[in-house]
A and B are shown apart, each in its own frame.
Chain A
Amino acid sequence: MIPQSHFLLLGAALFSIGIFGVLTRRNAIGILMSIELILNAANINLITFSKFSDNPDGLGQIFALFVIAIAAASTVVGLCLVISIYRNSKTILINKINLMKW
Protein backbone atom coordinates (compact mmCIF):
# COMPACT_ATOMS: atom_id res chain seq x y z
CA MET A 1 0.00 0.00 0.00
CA ILE A 2 0.96 3.64 -0.09
CA PRO A 3 3.52 4.42 2.62
CA GLN A 4 2.82 7.01 5.26
CA SER A 5 5.62 9.27 4.14
CA HIS A 6 4.06 9.87 0.75
CA PHE A 7 0.96 11.36 2.32
CA LEU A 8 3.15 13.53 4.49
CA LEU A 9 5.14 14.63 1.47
CA LEU A 10 1.93 15.64 -0.25
CA GLY A 11 1.02 17.62 2.84
CA ALA A 12 4.43 19.29 2.96
CA ALA A 13 4.22 20.25 -0.70
CA LEU A 14 0.76 21.73 -0.27
CA PHE A 15 1.93 23.60 2.80
CA SER A 16 4.86 25.14 0.96
CA ILE A 17 2.73 26.08 -2.00
CA GLY A 18 0.27 27.71 0.36
CA ILE A 19 3.01 29.70 2.05
CA PHE A 20 4.29 30.84 -1.29
CA GLY A 21 0.80 32.01 -2.14
CA VAL A 22 0.39 33.88 1.14
CA LEU A 23 3.67 35.64 0.58
CA THR A 24 3.17 36.67 -3.03
CA ARG A 25 -0.54 37.20 -3.67
CA ARG A 26 -1.48 40.84 -3.90
CA ASN A 27 -5.18 40.21 -3.70
CA ALA A 28 -6.49 39.78 -0.16
CA ILE A 29 -8.91 37.08 -1.30
CA GLY A 30 -6.01 35.23 -2.88
CA ILE A 31 -4.19 35.29 0.42
CA LEU A 32 -7.22 33.81 2.17
CA MET A 33 -7.38 31.05 -0.44
CA SER A 34 -3.72 30.24 0.06
CA ILE A 35 -4.39 29.99 3.78
CA GLU A 36 -7.03 27.39 2.97
CA LEU A 37 -4.32 25.37 1.21
CA ILE A 38 -2.14 25.51 4.31
CA LEU A 39 -5.02 24.37 6.53
CA ASN A 40 -5.74 21.52 4.16
CA ALA A 41 -2.11 20.45 4.26
CA ALA A 42 -2.36 20.32 8.03
CA ASN A 43 -5.54 18.27 7.76
CA ILE A 44 -3.88 15.73 5.48
CA ASN A 45 -1.16 15.27 8.08
CA LEU A 46 -3.68 14.92 10.90
CA ILE A 47 -5.66 12.26 9.11
CA THR A 48 -2.53 10.44 8.01
CA PHE A 49 -1.24 10.22 11.56
CA SER A 50 -4.67 9.14 12.69
CA LYS A 51 -4.75 6.30 10.22
CA PHE A 52 -1.23 5.05 10.84
CA SER A 53 -1.28 5.33 14.61
CA ASP A 54 -1.17 2.29 16.88
CA ASN A 55 -4.44 3.22 18.48
CA PRO A 56 -6.83 4.23 15.76
CA ASP A 57 -9.38 6.04 17.86
CA GLY A 58 -10.20 8.62 15.21
CA LEU A 59 -8.81 11.49 17.24
CA GLY A 60 -6.99 12.83 14.20
CA GLN A 61 -10.19 12.84 12.20
CA ILE A 62 -12.04 14.67 14.94
CA PHE A 63 -9.27 17.20 15.08
CA ALA A 64 -9.45 17.62 11.34
CA LEU A 65 -13.19 18.22 11.64
CA PHE A 66 -12.52 20.97 14.14
CA VAL A 67 -9.93 22.45 11.84
CA ILE A 68 -12.44 22.52 9.01
CA ALA A 69 -15.03 24.19 11.22
CA ILE A 70 -12.56 26.81 12.43
CA ALA A 71 -11.35 27.36 8.88
CA ALA A 72 -14.90 28.00 7.75
CA ALA A 73 -15.48 30.47 10.59
CA SER A 74 -12.23 32.29 10.00
CA THR A 75 -12.86 32.49 6.27
CA VAL A 76 -16.24 34.02 6.88
CA VAL A 77 -14.81 36.69 9.12
CA GLY A 78 -11.83 37.23 6.82
CA LEU A 79 -13.99 37.68 3.77
CA CYS A 80 -16.20 40.07 5.66
CA LEU A 81 -13.19 42.12 6.58
CA VAL A 82 -12.16 42.10 2.93
CA ILE A 83 -15.56 43.41 1.96
CA SER A 84 -15.50 46.14 4.55
CA ILE A 85 -11.96 47.12 3.57
CA TYR A 86 -13.11 47.26 -0.01
CA ARG A 87 -16.00 49.43 1.00
CA ASN A 88 -13.71 51.88 2.74
CA SER A 89 -10.75 52.07 0.41
CA LYS A 90 -12.17 50.71 -2.88
CA THR A 91 -9.37 48.20 -3.22
CA ILE A 92 -8.40 44.82 -1.87
CA LEU A 93 -4.85 44.87 -3.18
CA ILE A 94 -2.74 44.24 -0.16
CA ASN A 95 0.14 46.42 -1.29
CA LYS A 96 -2.11 49.43 -1.36
CA ILE A 97 -3.35 48.83 2.14
CA ASN A 98 -0.75 49.67 4.71
CA LEU A 99 -2.91 50.44 7.69
CA MET A 100 -0.46 48.60 9.86
CA LYS A 101 1.72 51.67 9.62
CA TRP A 102 0.19 54.96 10.49
Chain B
Amino acid sequence: MMSGLIQLLNNHGISHEVIIKATFYFIAGVTLLFALFVVLARNIFHVAVYLAITILGIACVYLYLDAEFLAIVQVLIYVGAIVTLFIFTIMLTADIDTGSIRGIILRVLVSALVSLALFFILVRVIVMTNWKVALPGNLPIDLPQLGKSLMLDYALPFEVISLISLAAIIGAIVIGKAEKK
Protein backbone atom coordinates (compact mmCIF):
# COMPACT_ATOMS: atom_id res chain seq x y z
CA MET B 1 0.00 0.00 0.00
CA MET B 2 2.64 2.47 1.15
CA SER B 3 5.05 1.58 -1.56
CA GLY B 4 2.34 1.91 -4.18
CA LEU B 5 1.49 5.39 -2.95
CA ILE B 6 5.13 6.41 -2.89
CA GLN B 7 5.61 5.16 -6.39
CA LEU B 8 2.70 7.28 -7.47
CA LEU B 9 4.21 10.40 -5.93
CA ASN B 10 7.64 9.54 -7.31
CA ASN B 11 6.18 9.72 -10.73
CA HIS B 12 5.29 13.32 -10.03
CA GLY B 13 8.90 14.20 -9.32
CA ILE B 14 8.91 14.17 -5.52
CA SER B 15 11.76 12.12 -4.15
CA HIS B 16 11.25 9.10 -1.98
CA GLU B 17 13.27 10.44 0.91
CA VAL B 18 11.38 13.69 1.19
CA ILE B 19 8.00 12.03 1.17
CA ILE B 20 8.96 9.56 3.85
CA LYS B 21 10.44 12.20 6.09
CA ALA B 22 7.64 14.69 5.63
CA THR B 23 4.93 12.14 6.31
CA PHE B 24 6.76 10.73 9.32
CA TYR B 25 7.15 14.06 11.06
CA PHE B 26 3.60 14.98 10.25
CA ILE B 27 2.30 11.72 11.71
CA ALA B 28 4.52 11.98 14.76
CA GLY B 29 3.28 15.52 15.37
CA VAL B 30 -0.35 14.55 15.05
CA THR B 31 0.19 11.58 17.36
CA LEU B 32 1.75 13.72 20.06
CA LEU B 33 -0.93 16.37 19.72
CA PHE B 34 -3.68 13.83 20.22
CA ALA B 35 -1.76 12.20 23.06
CA LEU B 36 -1.83 15.60 24.75
CA PHE B 37 -5.56 15.77 24.12
CA VAL B 38 -5.88 12.37 25.77
CA VAL B 39 -4.46 13.66 29.02
CA LEU B 40 -5.98 17.13 28.88
CA ALA B 41 -9.45 16.81 27.42
CA ARG B 42 -12.34 17.21 29.80
CA ASN B 43 -14.97 14.91 28.34
CA ILE B 44 -13.88 11.34 28.96
CA PHE B 45 -15.80 10.14 25.92
CA HIS B 46 -13.78 12.45 23.69
CA VAL B 47 -10.66 11.16 25.37
CA ALA B 48 -11.47 7.66 24.16
CA VAL B 49 -11.73 8.92 20.60
CA TYR B 50 -8.47 10.86 20.89
CA LEU B 51 -6.82 7.72 22.24
CA ALA B 52 -8.01 5.83 19.18
CA ILE B 53 -6.49 8.47 16.89
CA THR B 54 -3.22 8.45 18.84
CA ILE B 55 -3.04 4.70 18.54
CA LEU B 56 -3.68 4.84 14.82
CA GLY B 57 -0.83 7.34 14.57
CA ILE B 58 1.43 4.98 16.46
CA ALA B 59 0.39 2.19 14.10
CA CYS B 60 1.53 4.42 11.22
CA VAL B 61 4.85 4.94 12.98
CA TYR B 62 5.24 1.15 13.11
CA LEU B 63 4.98 1.12 9.34
CA TYR B 64 8.09 3.31 9.19
CA LEU B 65 9.82 0.73 11.36
CA ASP B 66 9.00 -2.08 8.90
CA ALA B 67 6.64 -3.66 11.39
CA GLU B 68 3.57 -4.00 9.18
CA PHE B 69 2.18 -6.93 11.08
CA LEU B 70 2.45 -5.12 14.38
CA ALA B 71 0.75 -2.12 12.84
CA ILE B 72 -2.17 -4.32 11.89
CA VAL B 73 -2.21 -5.97 15.30
CA GLN B 74 -2.06 -2.55 16.93
CA VAL B 75 -5.07 -1.33 15.03
CA LEU B 76 -6.99 -4.57 15.55
CA ILE B 77 -6.38 -4.95 19.26
CA TYR B 78 -6.17 -1.37 20.42
CA VAL B 79 -8.74 0.34 18.28
CA GLY B 80 -10.85 -2.74 17.73
CA ALA B 81 -10.86 -4.13 21.21
CA ILE B 82 -9.34 -1.94 23.88
CA VAL B 83 -10.79 1.43 22.89
CA THR B 84 -14.14 -0.28 22.38
CA LEU B 85 -13.90 -1.67 25.90
CA PHE B 86 -13.09 1.78 27.20
CA ILE B 87 -16.13 3.19 25.51
CA PHE B 88 -18.30 0.40 26.93
CA THR B 89 -17.03 1.13 30.38
CA ILE B 90 -17.59 4.84 29.97
CA MET B 91 -21.14 4.09 28.97
CA LEU B 92 -21.63 1.78 31.94
CA THR B 93 -20.31 4.35 34.39
CA ALA B 94 -21.96 7.70 34.40
CA ASP B 95 -19.25 10.30 35.12
CA ILE B 96 -18.52 11.58 31.66
CA ASP B 97 -17.65 15.20 32.24
CA THR B 98 -14.77 15.03 34.65
CA GLY B 99 -11.93 17.37 34.05
CA SER B 100 -8.47 16.77 35.27
CA ILE B 101 -7.34 20.24 36.15
CA ARG B 102 -10.11 21.70 38.22
CA GLY B 103 -9.34 22.39 41.86
CA ILE B 104 -6.03 20.72 42.25
CA ILE B 105 -3.68 23.19 40.64
CA LEU B 106 -0.77 22.34 42.89
CA ARG B 107 -0.96 18.64 42.09
CA VAL B 108 -1.11 19.40 38.38
CA LEU B 109 1.87 21.73 38.54
CA VAL B 110 3.98 19.25 40.45
CA SER B 111 2.93 16.46 38.07
CA ALA B 112 3.84 18.58 35.06
CA LEU B 113 7.21 19.34 36.58
CA VAL B 114 7.91 15.69 37.28
CA SER B 115 6.88 14.56 33.80
CA LEU B 116 8.85 17.34 32.15
CA ALA B 117 11.86 16.45 34.24
CA LEU B 118 11.56 12.83 33.19
CA PHE B 119 11.17 13.90 29.58
CA PHE B 120 14.24 16.09 29.60
CA ILE B 121 16.31 13.45 31.28
CA LEU B 122 15.25 10.97 28.61
CA VAL B 123 15.95 13.49 25.84
CA ARG B 124 19.37 14.10 27.29
CA VAL B 125 20.12 10.41 27.34
CA ILE B 126 18.89 9.91 23.81
CA VAL B 127 20.79 12.89 22.43
CA MET B 128 24.02 12.07 24.23
CA THR B 129 24.11 8.43 23.18
CA ASN B 130 25.92 7.65 19.98
CA TRP B 131 23.34 5.63 18.08
CA LYS B 132 24.23 3.45 15.16
CA VAL B 133 23.05 4.47 11.76
CA ALA B 134 20.58 2.05 10.23
CA LEU B 135 22.22 -0.67 8.25
CA PRO B 136 20.95 -0.37 4.70
CA GLY B 137 21.14 -4.12 4.27
CA ASN B 138 18.67 -4.84 7.05
CA LEU B 139 15.77 -6.64 5.51
CA PRO B 140 12.33 -6.17 6.97
CA ILE B 141 11.40 -9.07 9.19
CA ASP B 142 8.87 -11.08 7.27
CA LEU B 143 5.74 -12.52 8.72
CA PRO B 144 6.47 -16.26 8.48
CA GLN B 145 9.76 -15.72 10.31
CA LEU B 146 7.92 -13.87 13.04
CA GLY B 147 5.30 -16.59 13.25
CA LYS B 148 7.92 -19.31 13.41
CA SER B 149 9.89 -17.73 16.19
CA LEU B 150 6.66 -17.07 18.06
CA MET B 151 5.64 -20.70 17.80
CA LEU B 152 9.06 -22.35 18.19
CA ASP B 153 11.56 -20.19 20.06
CA TYR B 154 9.09 -18.35 22.22
CA ALA B 155 6.45 -21.02 22.54
CA LEU B 156 6.55 -21.00 26.32
CA PRO B 157 6.04 -17.23 26.74
CA PHE B 158 3.34 -17.49 24.13
CA GLU B 159 1.51 -20.14 26.12
CA VAL B 160 1.95 -18.16 29.31
CA ILE B 161 0.38 -15.18 27.60
CA SER B 162 -2.54 -17.33 26.55
CA LEU B 163 -2.96 -18.46 30.14
CA ILE B 164 -2.85 -14.87 31.33
CA SER B 165 -5.49 -13.88 28.80
CA LEU B 166 -7.69 -16.73 29.94
CA ALA B 167 -7.17 -15.74 33.57
CA ALA B 168 -8.01 -12.15 32.67
CA ILE B 169 -11.22 -13.22 30.95
CA ILE B 170 -12.32 -15.39 33.85
CA GLY B 171 -11.27 -12.75 36.36
CA ALA B 172 -13.16 -10.09 34.47
CA ILE B 173 -16.30 -12.21 34.44
CA VAL B 174 -16.02 -12.95 38.15
CA ILE B 175 -15.34 -9.35 39.12
CA GLY B 176 -17.83 -7.82 36.76
CA LYS B 177 -20.65 -10.24 37.51
CA ALA B 178 -23.56 -8.61 39.27
CA GLU B 179 -23.93 -9.93 42.76
CA LYS B 180 -27.00 -11.96 43.49
CA LYS B 181 -29.27 -10.36 45.93
B100 and A30 contacting across the interface, CB-CB below 8 Å: yes
Interface residues on B, range: 35 or more
Minimum CB–CB distance from A20 to chain B (whole Å) comes to 4
A51 pairs with B67, CB closer than 8 A = yes
Q: Which listed residue, A5, A15, A61, A72, touches B70 by the CB 8 Å rule?
A: A61
Q: Which residue of B lies closest to A87 (CB)?
A: B178
Nearest-CB residue, chain B, relative to A96:
B95
Rounded to whole Å, the gap between the CB of A67 and the closest CB of chain B is: 10
A29 near B70: Cβ-Cβ < 8 Å: no
How many residues of A are in contact with the other chain, CB < 8 A? 72
Which residues on B sit within 8 Å (CB–CB) of A30? 39, 44, 47, 98, 100
- List A contacts of B9 (CB < 8 A): none
B-contacting residues of A (Cβ < 8 Å)?
Answer: 1-10, 12-21, 23-27, 29-30, 32-34, 36-37, 40, 43-44, 47-48, 50-52, 54, 56-59, 61-62, 64-66, 68-77, 79-84, 86-87, 91-93, 95
Whether the Cβ atoms of A76 and B168 lie closer than 8 Å is yes
Q: Are B92 and A86 in contact (CB under 8 A)?
A: yes
- Given the contacts A13-B32, A52-B131, A27 and B44 also touching, CB distance less than 8 Å: yes
Among candidates B32, B48, B99, residue contacting A26 with C-beta atoms closer than 8 Å? B99
Chain B residues near A21 (CB-CB < 8 A): 38-39, 100
| A–B pairs, 10, beta carbons within 8 Å | A16-B115, A16-B119, A19-B115, A29-B93, A40-B78, A43-B74, A56-B138, A68-B73, A69-B164, A95-B104
Which of B38, B114, B134 contacts A34, CB < 8 Å? B38
Where the two chains meet, the residues of B that have a C-beta atom closer than 8 Å to any C-beta of A are 17, 20-21, 24, 28, 31-32, 35-36, 38-39, 44, 47-48, 51, 54-55, 58, 61-62, 64-67, 69-70, 73-74, 77-78, 81-82, 85-86, 88-90, 92-93, 95, 98-101, 104, 107-108, 111-112, 114-116, 118-119, 122-123, 126-127, 129, 131-135, 138-139, 141, 145-146, 149-150, 154, 157, 161, 164-165, 167-169, 171-172, 175-176, 178
The interface centre, meaning the residue of A9, A33, A84 with most chain B CB atoms within 10 A of its CB, is A33
